[in-house]
Amino acid sequence: MGEAVNFKGNKDGIVLLLDLSVEFESLCQMIVQKLWNSRSFLGEHTALIVNSGQTALDSGQQLALKVLLQSLGHEVKYFVPEMAVSKPEEPAHSEKQEAAVSEKQQEPKTEKTIELPAGLGDAIHYLAEGALVVRKNVRSGQNISYDGTLIVFGDVNAGAELVATGHILVLGTLRGVAHAGCRGNKQAIVYANHLNSLQLRIADLIARAPDGESNERHVPEIARIIDNQLVIEEV
């Protein structure tokens, strides 16, 4: 096959072929790269069938891919082979996501302004033009601002700050402050494998954690704006 990420068409639609011998994080990066390179071919909001060959992706990986594809303007049709644990996505949910994505696509692309803390240099990868991936824990006092979607593979500790004009995805524990859609995009979302943030901001709305309570439920959650309210719900 040569490449770890490939496209193939079948009667159901476009299949994203994944080679799982590659480390999952690198795979995600290749996917983003591939999708960006094939954007004219794919068009917008394409439902992709994800085929991982012989081995099924685990539920965490499937979830990560769903969020990743959504943030890039597409969605997952289904996974091959399927995972017993994973539920098919609720239709209402994905509609909302599509709406979020379409609005984002219409935004005029502005010039990228990136502020990065020193020392994170080699852990950062620019993915095509759309997303910034940080493969490191973001620590107290560090600030990552990005014009676009920000993806962190690692924990974001209390005292750290993530700011993005697009979505923010944390594939780890989010304890610090995250501000998605910082230029007013109310469709932006914040996703974390474990959302335990002291404060979340989307566009001009701010939500803070209840005083003296910590989120002990280790389940992936998404924060988004619904009816001008910042709502956090399980994925």
Partner 1 sequence: MGEVIVVTSGKGGVGKTTTAANIGTGLAAQGKKVVLMDTDIGLRNLDVVMGLENRIVYDIVDIANGHCKLKQGMIKDKRYPDLYLIPAAQTKDKNAVTEDQVRAICNELKQEVDYIIVDCPAGIEQGFKNAIAGADKAIVVTNPEVSAVRDADRIIGLLEANGLGNPQLVLNRVRPNMVRQGDMMSVDDILEILAIKLLGVIPDDDNIVISTNRGEPTVLDQQSRAGQAYRNIVKRILGEDVPLMNLDVEEGFFAKLKKLFKGN
Say whether residue 224 binds partner 1 (CB under 8 A).
Answer: no
* Residues pairing with 168 in the sheet: 150, 190
**Cβ proximity to partner 1, 175 vs 201, nearer residue:** 175
Determine which residue in the list 26, 55, 105, 140 makes contact with partner 1, applying CB under 8 A. Answer: 140
Say whether residue 199 binds partner 1 (CB under 8 A).
Answer: no
Q: Which stretch binds partner 1 (CB under 8 A): 20-28, 44-52, 137-145, 215-223?
A: 137-145
CB of 160 to partner 1, least distance (A): 8
CB of 123 to partner 1, least distance (A): 9
**Tokens 């599509």 sit at which residue?**
98
Phi-psi region of 53 (alpha: psi -120 to 50; beta: other; left: phi over 0): left
Query: Is residue 158 within 8 Å of residue 141, measured between CB atoms?
Result: no
**Cβ proximity to partner 1, 91 vs 210, nearer residue:** 210
* Residues pairing with 224 in the sheet: 231
CB of 120 to partner 1, least distance (A): 8
Say whether residue 175 binds partner 1 (CB under 8 A).
Answer: yes
- The DSSP-derived string for 73-138 is T-EEEEEES--SSPPPPPHHHHHHHHHHHHHHHHSPPPPP--B--TT-GGGEEEETTTEEEE-SPB
Binding mask 91-120 for partner 1 (x = CB under 8 A): --------------------------xxxx
Q: What stretch of H or E contains 179?
A: strand 177-180
Angle, helices 59-71/91-106, rounded to nearest 10 degrees: 40
Residues engaged in binding partner 1 (CB under 8 A): 117-120, 137, 139-142, 155, 157-159, 173, 175
